[in-house]
Structure 1
Amino acid sequence: MILSDTIKTKYKLDTKGRNTVEMAKLLKDCGVKGFLIAVNPHSIVMAVLPEDKEHNRKAMEGLRNE
């Protein structure tokens, strides 16, 4: 993945007080593709390839419903 080819995408997700490392591991375990840039209390910002954007949206739905 070349970072210059990525787009920044914001996902609404309750992080439940997790830090960046904990969120990155959780996202990787759930099959989300991309680099975690920032973690806020109710959202995360990631750099993802345009072709992975739809896949990540579906993976995030599973995380939101847990």
Structure 2
Amino acid sequence: MKVIIDVAACQGYACCMMEAPSVFDLNEDEGKVILLQENPSEDLRTQVDTAARTCPAKAIRLENG
């Protein structure tokens, strides 16, 4: 799985960070998401999928592969 972030769309809600803290972080200075793992392992799929679905700004997209 590949995680793609639209940083311009990110509003800094940090929902992704709460759902998958090993994959997402927040740049406190800019108020934008930081992607820690572009290709997280399959065991994180549920957390990452939940993070993408719960993002209010719809700034997270997943690609299989």
TM-score bin, normalised by smaller chain: 0.3 to 0.5
TM-score (norm. length: structure 2): 0.37
Asked which structure has the greater RCO (Cα within 8 Å, sep 6+), the reply is 2
Larger helix percent: 1
Structure exhibiting the larger radius of gyration computed from Cα positions: 1
